[in-house]
Amino acid sequence: MMKQRKWMALLLTIVMSMSIATGCGALDDAGVDQNDKFTNSAASEQSVEAAEEAVNNDRTVDIAATADVFVPEQVPSYTGAAFTVVHDNVPYFAESDLTTESYETYAPLDNLGRCGVAMACVGQDLMPTEKRGSIGQVKPSGWRMAKYDNVDGKYLYNRCHLIGYQLTGENANECNLITGTRYLNMEGMLPFENMVADYVKETGNHVLYRVTPVFAGNDLVANGVLMEAYSVEDKGEGICYCVYAYNVQPGIGIDYATGESHLADESAVMENASVDASDAEVHEYVLNDNTMKFHTPECSSVKKMKNPQYVTTTREEVRNGGYEPCNMCCP
């Protein structure tokens, strides 16, 4: 299993370096796919490693034992990481959802033109065999053309596939496309989509997959998406994650009610991020210099580190040193 995961991580890095942005698309006024223009665009190595860390649980999961319901209000505010693990990284699937028959379903648009839940049991037979076509004719709710020099590829928004094209071959399906930032696309969603695609292609197994856009009130732009995946045949040993990816763009302020945007400094983008008083308390942490993440000593990722560094200090001091909290143990 460890050899397979190392191979998956290597393959994922190679895929990223090829810059095939298969999850979402940004088109300019002429309808040209920006992912074809900006060939250097790829998820950062840090995001890829963080996603890989979140997926590798070294455990099987009994879906039948999970009966909780996702509560968006319980998702922590954005604090600088593209995604956060929720529900102990266990999807909210029901036992009745489990199947090895491939399928895909998309909720109809609501009365505001917003997408709903997209769900599939991803198998090799659903995957596309030809290059993705144009999606510029689709205008998701809250869509605005906005360009900034501090955004990868200039364009703030992508037409984001809830279920990536590489997984089910859905192209210009308006029920599968939301207005998402470039950051959500590349740093939040794409690493997880790629791992599912790699796993299905390598094993021939099926992955139960669901993406839920989360809107506040009557907002036209989603605050983020809940991404759930579970490899069916091996009971989650190959793929199992439950993460919330933030629909934000560092350096840009977004009006989620309309999709309008403006330049903002980092403090403005993170104005809703709460500062926990416990940041000043002294705790024991484990530092990983390779991923620049810090963990609790009990975190399952610690035993996989080659040279873990144990420190006793405040959370604030650790973050000032350039480390970000692990998305699994949330220290």
Q: Is 293 helix (H, G, I), strand (E, B) or coil?
A: strand
172 belongs to a structural domain:
yes
Q: Is the pLDDT of residue 101 over 90?
A: yes
Share of the chain above pLDDT 70, in %: 79
- Model pLDDT, residue 147: 94
- Model pLDDT, residue 24: 55
Instruction: Answer with the one of 223, 250, 269 that is the final residue of a domain.
Output: 269
pTM, entire model: 0.72
What's the mean per-residue pLDDT of the chain? 82
Q: Is the pLDDT of residue 26 over 70?
A: no
- Model pLDDT, residue 306: 78
For the segment 93-110, the average pLDDT, to the nearest whole number, is 96
Domain span at residue 233 reads 2-269
290 and 149 in one domain?
Answer: no
321 and 261 in one domain?
Answer: no
Bigger pLDDT: 38 vs 327: 327
Q: Where does the pLDDT of residue 279 fall: very low under 50, low under 70, confident under 90, or very high at 90 and above?
A: low
330 belongs to a structural domain:
no
Bigger pLDDT: 100 vs 29: 100
259 and 176 in one domain?
Answer: yes
- Model pLDDT, residue 124: 98
Task: Say how far apart CA 176 and CA 138 lie, in whole Å.
Answer: 10
Bigger pLDDT: 284 vs 117: 117
Instruction: Answer with the one of 223, 246, 269 that is the final residue of a domain.
Output: 269
- Model pLDDT, residue 150: 94
Distance of CA 13 to CAs 6, 7, 30, Å? 11, 10, 31
- Model pLDDT, residue 121: 98
187 and 171 in one domain?
Answer: yes
- CATH, residue 65: 3.40.570.10
How many domains, the chain? 2
Among 259, 279, 164, 166, CA closest to 219? 259
Share of the chain above pLDDT 90, in %: 56
Compute the half-sphere exposure of residue 247: CA atoms within 13 Å on the CB side of its CA: 29
For the segment 70-95, the average pLDDT, to the nearest whole number, is 93
